[in-house]
Amino acid sequence: MKAKLTTTIPVRNGQEFILQTLQSLAAQTVRPDRVIVLDNLSTDATPEIVKNFKELPIEFITNPKDLGTFGNFDRCLDFAGETDYLQILHADDVILPQFYEVLIDQLKDCPGRAMAWSLDERIDEKNRHLTFSGKADGRNIVIDRDTFLACKAEIGNQSFCATLLKTNYQPAPARFPMDMLVYGDMVYWARFGAHSDKIVLVNRPLAQYRWHNTNQTVFVAPNIKSLVVDAWSTMQMAEALRKKPTGMIRRAKLKGLMAVRCGIMSIRFRQLGNLPYARQIVQTGRSITGWPIWLAGQILVQLRELLVFKIGRRPRHRQNIFS
C-alpha cells in the first residue's frame, strides 16, 4: 500500500500518553495518509485506546513476539519503501500542528532520500515546559552531508519526534543497531544522513519530547556500556562515515566533548544518590579522554552547572541524566 506520508508509532505499554500522541496527528495541517501503530506486546490498555480513536484511520499491528525497543524501530523501517515520507513517532511524544507541513515543504524538491528535523521542546509528565533543544531563530538551514555527520559525531541533539525522513519510496538504507540502547538513534541518523541528498534543520520547536519516569533511558542508563562506552563508539562510528582522516585537533575536540558529557552524567547520578555509579562514569570517561582533557572538561561542566542551573535556575526533570 503506497502512501505519501506515513507515521509509524512503535509502542509497548504506552497507555499514559499515546492518546495525546494520536491527537497531535489528528491536529496536523497536513495529515499522514497512513498511521501504523506497531505494538510490542503491550499488557496495558494501549490496544483499546488506539482502536477506540476515531479521528484518524489507524492500522494496529501486534508483533508476533517481543522485538525489543530498537527491533520495533526497525519494524517501522519496513514501511520505508511504501511511502515518500516516513516518521517514527514515539508514543509519549507529540508534534505541533504545522510539523509535517513545514518539514515536507523543506524536502519536497529533493529527488532522492532526504532528512529534516526541527527543534523540540522538552516537557514532563504533566506537559509542563522544561527547556528547548536549541535557540529558535526561525531559520531553515540546509546542511551539507559532512557537516551533518560531524554534528552526529559530536552527539548533536536530534530527537525522534522532531525528525522526518524522505525515503522516496526506497527501502531504508540502514538499520538501527540492536546493541546500543541509549545512542542507537544517533547512529541511525548518521547512517541515514550518509545516504541523504538533502539535510535540513528547521530552527523552530515543532515537536515536544517528553521526559518521564518510564523513559527507556531511565532503565538502561545505569549500565556503563550503554551510557559511556557506547557514547564514544557512537562518536567514532559517525566520524568514520565522514571518510576522511581525523586530525589531532578534531580528535581532541571529540574527547573534550566526551569529557563534558561524562562530567554532566556523573553529576546527575551523584545528585540522584548513586555515588558508586557516578565514580564509575568518571573512571571510564577519564580512561577514554586522558587526564588533561578530562580536567579541562570538568571546569566547563562546573561552570555550566553554576550558570545554567544554580544562577539561571533552569528546570530539569529529575530523571534527565543528560541535563
Ramachandran bin of 313, using left for φ above 0, alpha for ψ from -120 to 50, beta for the remaining angles: left
109 beta partners: none
Q: Nine-digit cell at 122? A: 522538552
Residue 102 CA from chain centroid, whole number: 19
Q: With 80 as the cut, is the pLDDT of residue 1 above it? A: no
* pLDDT tens digits, one per residue of 67-96: 999 999 999 999 999 999 999 999 999 999
- pLDDT surpassing 90 at residue 220: no
The yes or no reply on domain 3-210 and CATH 3.30.565.10 is no
Residue 167 · residue 113 · CB < 8 Å: yes
Q: What is the residue type of 65?
A: K
Q: Give the tens place of pLDDT for each residue, 293-303.
A: 999 999 999 99
pLDDT for the residue numbered 322: 72
Name the nearest CA neighbour of 175 among 190, 162, 163, 161: 190
Other CB atoms within a 10 A radius of the CB of residue 128 amount to 10
Give the three-class secondary structure for 155. coil
Q: Which amino acid is at 261?
A: R
The structural domains of the chain, with segments of one domain joined by +, span: 3-210, 219-311
Taking the C-alpha atoms of residue 304 and residue 118, their distance in angstroms, rounded to an integer, is 25
Q: With 80 as the cut, is the pLDDT of residue 286 above it?
A: yes
Residues with Cβ < 8 Å from 155, sequence gap 6 or more? 183, 186, 231, 234, 235, 257, 261
The answer, yes or no, to whether residue 314 has pLDDT greater than 90, is no
Q: How confident is the model at residue 311 (pLDDT cuts 50, 70, 90)?
A: confident
Separation in Å, CA 43 to CA 25, 69, 76, 92? 24, 15, 20, 16
Specify the pLDDT at position 217.
Answer: 74
Residue 50 has what pLDDT?
98
* Average pLDDT of span 222-240: 96
Percentage above 70 pLDDT, the chain: 98
Read off the pLDDT of residues 119-171 as tens digits, 9 standing for 90 and up: 999 999 999 999 999 999 999 999 999 999 999 999 999 999 999 999 999 99
